[in-house]
Copies of this chain bind each other. A is one copy, B any other.
């Protein structure tokens, strides 16, 4: 089956967690909105009068199914492509970790958009500075400390169980994205998360991920996505 991924064509954003899973799995997929008239097709599916129209991208067409919400898509893909345990307890645990990633991603986005997603960053620079300071003081240590602890307690190789899961791919993306958006701040923080940095490096070296990152399919980070490089927010 050829999957169809629908996501904004010029950013990594929330769609990137799905792209990484599809790439690691070697799955056959089209990144539809990056093709001709793809964004229009995406908008039409969101406006559908029947079926399961998603609230927002990303969403995945898998045969007759249209599945929205990043973590939900990964839940669907995970056990089908060996990126999550098959047993219910393990599936729920990896999904729970991904939902915690989802919460963290929303807070990362809020660092540059504390007054809401519909206003420009330029119109909320001062509150963005305050929110970012609180984010690095309280939230990054809490979230990344949690994941680092789980990783260590699980033996250091993977976040959950004895094999790579999509949650590990998401850890790669979090470290990579924070490095891009907050190079100085993350550099100072990395010594507190040696396990996650090592996991990041091991994910980046996996053949399918390595090939993906070097390809045109990987969109570069930019200032329209979740991870944005604004020097004034990097402390």
Contacts and interface: CB of A to CB of B under 8 A. Distances in A.
Interface string A23-59: 0000000000000000000000000011011110000
Given A69-B100, A153-B50, A114 B131 contact: yes
A52 B106 contact: no
Contacts of A115: 114, 127, 130-131, 134
Contacts of A65: 89, 92
A212 interface: no
Contact of A92 (B76, B102, B131): B76
Q: How many copies does the complex hold?
A: 2
Contacts of A72: 92, 95-96, 99
A138 interface: yes
Contacts of A50: 153
A117 B76 CA distance: 31
